[in-house]
Structure 1
Amino acid sequence: MSDVGDCLFCKIIAGEIPSKKVYEDDSTYAFADIQPKAKVHVLIVPKRHYATVAELAQNDPAELSHIVGVAKSIADDAFHGAYRLVFNTGEDAGQSVFHVHAHVLTGEVLAE
């Protein structure tokens, strides 16, 4: 697990690393993925550091619910509300940054 002080997403949230911001409020930050897998590929992260979605759900279920609402709003704006929402949990499942993040894929018809 990443140390919070060395966390890539914590540095993006703090403005230490540039990103293309899509959405921000007091608890949540969303930005364009630098290696998009769809026409619109946005990462949504809580500003408070949690390593995985399970940790987020256990400690702040309201924030998890809020992230799902933000994903819907992004999809409403980008592609008539249709979207895929993915959380990778653990290195073997493809998680490479251990700050929980939701992948919102939308903007086009997605293959299965």
Structure 2
Amino acid sequence: MRQTEEDRKREQERAERIERAQLKDVKELMQLPAFRRYARRYLTLCNVFETTFTGSSETFFREGKRAVGTTILGEIMKIVPGQFAQMMAERMPDDEPEPEPGSDQ
């Protein structure tokens, strides 16, 4: 079946709606301290901030993890670069959340 101009236009509009929703998701999530801790933890687990070279085939595995992390980092930097700086500045020992108000800790 051949795609018409109207079909292409509808598909383009759909793709734009999806992209807007994804941008909005990242903006809203990065407002949350808990999500910034989560994102920072996964960027670290994905070796985004260190080399992946091992001299063996393990490098390929590490580069795969790093590719996922750099995709996440790229979205954050494109959409809310100031939030990235805030996320990194918020680093706490062991990424432990602060005690909740009124708790004994």
TM-score (norm 1): 0.30
Q: Given the two structures, how large is their TM-score scaled by the length of structure 2?
A: 0.31
